[in-house]
Chain A
Amino acid sequence: MRILIFRMSAACFALGVLILSVTVCTEVRAQTPAVDPAATQILQKMTDYLGSIKQFSVHTQNTLEDVLDSGHRVDFDISASVIVSRPNRLLAERRGDLIDQDFYYDGESLTLYNPADKVYATEPAPDTIEGVLDFARESLGIVVPAADLIYRNAFSLLMQDVIFAAVVGKAVIEGVKCDHLLFSRPGVDFQIWVAEAGQPLPFKYVVTDTTTPKLISITTVMSDWNIAPSADDARFSFEPPLGVKQINFMPLETSSGSNP
């Protein structure tokens, strides 16, 4: 009987320790999330500024990390030029092995053009840049480079579900001294480097997928910012060169894709 009581209390004690450790674990987790207002202020200064300029052009160097089935780590590089003319014109030219493609938006339709394959597809589009970015992603599955930063309401979109924000420190990117910011939301960590003085422009942007142990990132380094580019409206309309054939977009299946 005594042994029985001893065993029972031992079991109860073990159970107690177990519950306690789980509780402590969750509490520590619940307390760590901290959003440093200094970081969000810099982010907002940047997004407000970018949203306020009517026209800008920027060159981006994008690196997509991947892990091959063989387990080796490889990078794929894409170089892109983006011209934005608010409220309803956008041109993005991407060059690389992985993707060699132009994205045109002239306020009425969007066009995807693969110069090397000599094919293009056109689709009627919403009448704002914000609308066309949503439409392209949700209905056609098209991703536009640095789209997250082009949205006029970029701040609220970026801050959605953010549970951690911090100023990591300073860094010099493309010769410009920047504030280095880190943000985290479930499934995604992102870092932004914003010019410390002068125009608060972003110079680097890293998005990391935290849903897998591989922690794969997409890195975008921005250079050649121009807030007064000479781009007339005709530049944003696609005129198919001779010998280029029109094809269609494959509609996204409703089951996949529409996930933001």
Chain B
Amino acid sequence: MTKVAFYGHGLPNVHKGDLPGKLIVLEGTDGVGRSTQVALLREWLESSGYAVASSGLKRSGLAGKGISLAQEGHYLGDLTSCLFYASDLADRLEREIIPALRAGFVVLTDRYIYSLLARALVRGVNRKWVRSVYGFALVPDKVFYLRAGLDHLIPRVLNARGFNYWEAGMDFLPQRDYYDSYVEYQSRILDQFDAMSSEYGFHLVDANRSVHTVFTELKRGIDKLVRGMKPASPEILGDE
């Protein structure tokens, strides 16, 4: 059951009372392997008989495209970015995530408000303001924080798609070089995540280890959460 609880003012028109599904968040910096784990977990959960939906930043029907387009241009301001991402998340919550939870799905999300908070805070956006903006966010059942050190992150990012302008903080940091800027930016982001960890009750997962080891640990954590959600098996029905 996901309790209908929000971080702030919440969403209008969402009825109180529990949602039968589970909202599970995978958080962590760029290149830590979140999307790989979401893909593996989804397959594992589905093959174990659960209904699964996944979500992630910029995947809303409303604002996903718009944010990507704005990021290709030369200017997306900090406040605009916060509110644009808020539109994206609110759209996904209202039209995808909450309906899926209501239908009893396990919803896996690749990042949630914590990444957005970290990005805003390192850019000097007012903490109180940004938290209030994201106050419509449903409190998840569990947040797994995948944490890897920079020495592990850098080769992974280089092997995947290279450094990204925004994920290297090139929009605000003084470094004019992608590598230097990335190192500075991601260290600041890591500090923000670490600072949020206890407040939001992150389950810390050491992602310096192999994909398989991390997957095994996540499976163990998620298994506890979802146990009992599966439709009753025939034997149990036969007992009645």
Say if A and B assemble together.
Answer: no
